[in-house]
């Protein structure tokens, strides 16, 4: 379980109905196979030792004895293995029979979890044979001791902070699944041993309920259903297995396949998400105490390396083409409606924006025009100002002018070079020294122009800075750092280009041509003079790192709460073949240094709408003192 990842699998074995010995043999073969893969949690289907479709044979003592004997054989096969295994079987206790899941680890049957909700409709008639486990509390005698039986049992590996609980098939389909209480009492991983027959549309319903249930309970959900070996007298089973993590499907097997459903569950992410969600009613104590809850300690977690986890290199950007287009239009609508509301509220006559020919100001201008369309206002009330200075290249200047003209906004050009040179003379700065004074004087003068023009025209200055720049503090304090409303403040750089591209496709014509040219321009603040060929000399990603890495690190730091070691390990998977470990580590260390050092800029940000799961607004999403130390994070990252 390296970096708090739990390797889990759900497998639907070939079986014979009412043949426990045969089924045990198949289960043991799969246990051996999964052990070789380093699986730590292995789940089999409901009543997998007997078969779900035994009918009235469940009432036969011969079958019940055979199942218990097969269970002990399976348990013996786990001896010496670092693995937690769940298998299903009918269990006689007292004068009743229960539909149970047995938890097994290292040769021992730890506990039996009895099914709570028994269906008795349509093709399912479990109440004919079984009794609900609600309120059950006792021990089942085995050859080598006894194991608890109840509806509420949690197996935990204290060393690795992993708590696993179980429910069975119908339990998840009810209004109050037992797993809700399991999660409240500490379980982060829920397993479901199921015998869900295949019907047209049922696969989609499984996805819906597992996604919603795992998200609202902030848990992982390992779902294993019976396969084609069951009787087909009235139903067919397809072994459609799924593993979910906080709403997201990590893995799924196709219906009627004999594949193992395998995934690595990020338990650390689940714990971090619960800690930040104060509405989640978690437990207190170690282990938590509750009536009728059975706690089974076990050591089933290893330090196996990650081999299955799919790590998204661009977590802010959807990969599906259709979804990406839909998401882009939704985000643009959110930005536009938010700004339209602000314009209406303050009765502003104009919107004032500085247009550089770069991606961020382009996106902000497109959003303003959308907002004005919503309000029925003329684009001529958008005052777009291009302010060429020492670093402005012909390409960006031409792109800025072409975009403003194509959108029909009011265009103003104010060259700042001579005014800034006079300012250098006033403060005694040598213009040959191209340091932070040289750069920031330009940014602050541009902001002063925008603010004054806004006063002049009765408008609002619209900020253009994006989320990635805020994370790094890559803006001039009280320069481009400041505005009257910041429409891009929660848009990461990797997403900006997709939004601009989406608008290019939607608008077409001259606008699309200009936007494509802007998309092909290198990212730069253009505060230093161009090179000898008149091209951009100051390239942002050479100074702060590739934005795809910055956004990756930002997401895993703020959204998932990952440590430096875990973040680097995931980055190596996500960017394998593109960046080596030394490069990833270099920019990770730099990210932590910049993020902590630049909090003072984020603590006084202008208003701006949140559109995604990550925001650095000091009023809501990210509250951090400006003088917090980054020592812990930097030390860990530097020593990796």
Catalytic (active-site) positions: 46, 115, 169
Buried b (16+ CB within 10 A) or exposed e, 95-115: eebbbbbbbbbbebbbbbbbb
The answer to whether 358 and 386 are in contact (CB under 8 A) is no
How is residue 127 annotated by DSSP?
G
Please answer whether residues 236 and 259 qualify as being in contact, where contact means their C-beta atoms are separated by less than 8 angstroms.
no
Q: How far apart are CA 162 and CA 268, in angstroms?
A: 9
Task: Kindly report the backbone phi and psi dihedral angles of residue 334, in degrees, each rounded to the nearest multiple of 5, phi listed first.
Answer: -60, -45
The pairing of beta strand 84-93 with beta strand 41-43: parallel
Q: Smallest Cα–Cα separation from 161: which of 283, 258, 337, 279?
A: 283
DSSP class of residue 197 equals B
Taking the CB of residue 28, how many other CB atoms lie within 10 A of it? 17
> How is 353-416 classified by DSSP, letter by letter?
EE--SSHHHHHHHHHHHHHHHHHT--GGGEEEEE---TT--HHHHHHHHHHHHHHT-EEEE---
CA dist 390 and 417 (Å) reads: 6
Cα gap 122→124, rounded to integer Å: 6
Going by C-alpha positions, the residue among 244, 251, 250, 240 that lies closest to residue 217 is 244
Q: What are phi and psi of 224, to 5 degrees?
A: -130, 120
Q: Are 611 and 337 in contact (CB under 8 A)?
A: no
Q: Rounded CA gap, 489 and 366, in Å?
A: 15
- Return the C-alpha torsion angle 423, 429, 433, 439, nearest 10: -40
555: DSSP letter? I
- Asked if residue 482 lies in contact with residue 463, where contact means CB atoms within 8 angstroms, the answer is yes
Q: Which two tokens stand for residue 567?
A: 């973040």
> Is 462:352 a contact under the CB 8 Å cutoff?
yes
What CA–CA distance (Å, rounded) separates 314 from 552?
6
């Amino acid at each position: 379980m390296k970096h708090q990842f739990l390797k889990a699998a759900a497998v639907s074995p070939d079986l014979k109905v009412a043949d426990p010995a045969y089924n045990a043999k198949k289960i043991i073969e799969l246990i051996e196979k999964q052990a070789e893969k380093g699986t730590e949690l292995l789940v089999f289907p409901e009543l997998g030792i007997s078969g779900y479709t035994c009918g009235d044979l469940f009432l036969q003592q011969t079958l019940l004895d055979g199942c218990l004997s097969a269970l002990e054989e399976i348990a013996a096969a786990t001896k010496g293995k670092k693995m937690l295994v769940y298998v299903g079987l009918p269990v006689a206790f007292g004068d009743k029979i229960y539909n149970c899941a047995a938890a097994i680890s290292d040769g021992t049957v730890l506990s039996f979890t009895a099914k709570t909700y028994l269906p008795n409709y349509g093709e399912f008639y479990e109440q004919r044979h079984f009794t609900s486990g609600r309120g059950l509390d006792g021990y089942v005698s085995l050859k080598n001791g006894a194991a608890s039986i109840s509806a509420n049992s949690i197996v935990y590996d204290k060393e690795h902070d992993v708590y696993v609980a179980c429910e069975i098939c119908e339990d998840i389909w009810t209004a109050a699944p037992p797993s809700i209480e399991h999660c409240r009492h500490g379980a982060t991983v829920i397993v479901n041993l199921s015998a869900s027959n295949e019907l047209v549309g049922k696969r989609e319903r499984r996805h819906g309920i597992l996604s919603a249930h795992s998200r609202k309970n902030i848990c992982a959900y390992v779902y294993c259903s019976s396969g084609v070996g069951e009787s087909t007298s009235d139903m067919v089973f397809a072994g459609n297995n799924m593993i979910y993590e906080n709403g997201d499907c990590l893995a799924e097997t196709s219906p009627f396949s004999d594949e193992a459903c395998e995934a690595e569950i990020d338990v650390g992410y689940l714990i971090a998400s619960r800690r930040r969600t104060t509405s989640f009613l978690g437990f207190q104590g170690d282990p938590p105490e509750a009536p009728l809850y059975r706690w089974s300690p076990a050591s089933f977690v290893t330090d196996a390396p990650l081999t299955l986890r799919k790590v998204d290199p661009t977590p802010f950007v959807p990969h599906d083409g259709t979804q990406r287009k839909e998401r882009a239009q939704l985000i643009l609508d959110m930005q536009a409606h938010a700004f339209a509301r602000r314009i209406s509220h303050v009765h502003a006559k104009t919107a004032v924006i500085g247009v550089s020919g770069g991606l961020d100001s382009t996106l902000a201008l497109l959003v303003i025009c959308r907002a004005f369309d919503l309000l029925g206002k003329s684009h001529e009330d958008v005052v777009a100002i291009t302010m060429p200075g020492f670093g402005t290249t012909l390409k960006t200047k031409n792109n800025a002018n072409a975009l403003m003209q194509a959108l029909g906004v009011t265009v103003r050009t104010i060259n700042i070079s001579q005014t800034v040179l006079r300012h250098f003379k006033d403060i005694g700065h040598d213009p040959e020294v191209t340091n932070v004074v040289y750069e920031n004087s330009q940014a602050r003068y541009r902001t002063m122009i925008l603010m004054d023009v806004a006063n002049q025209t009765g408008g609002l200055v619209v900020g253009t800075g994006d989320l990635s720049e805020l994370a790094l503090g890559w803006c001039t304090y009280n320069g481009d750092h400041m505005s009257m409303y910041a429409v891009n403040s929660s848009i990461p750089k990797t997403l900006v280009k997709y939004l601009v591209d989406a608008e290019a496709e939607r608008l077409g014509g001259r606008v699309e041509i200009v936007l494509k040219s802007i998309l092909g321009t290198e990212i730069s603040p253009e505060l230093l003079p161009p090179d000898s060929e008149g091209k951009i000399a100051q390239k942002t990603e050479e100074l702060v790192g590739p934005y795809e890495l910055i956004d990756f690190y930002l997401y895993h730091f703020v959204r998932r709460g990952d440590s430096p070691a875990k973040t680097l390990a995931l980055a190596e998977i996500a960017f394998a073949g593109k960046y080596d470990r030394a490069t990833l580590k270099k920019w990770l260390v730099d990210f932590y240094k910049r993020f902590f050092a630049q909090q003072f800029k984020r603590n006084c940000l202008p208003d701006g709408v949140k559109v995604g799961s990550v925001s650095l607004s000091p009023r809501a999403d990210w509250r951090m003192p400006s003088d917090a130390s980054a020592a812990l994070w930097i030390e860990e990252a530097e020593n990796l």
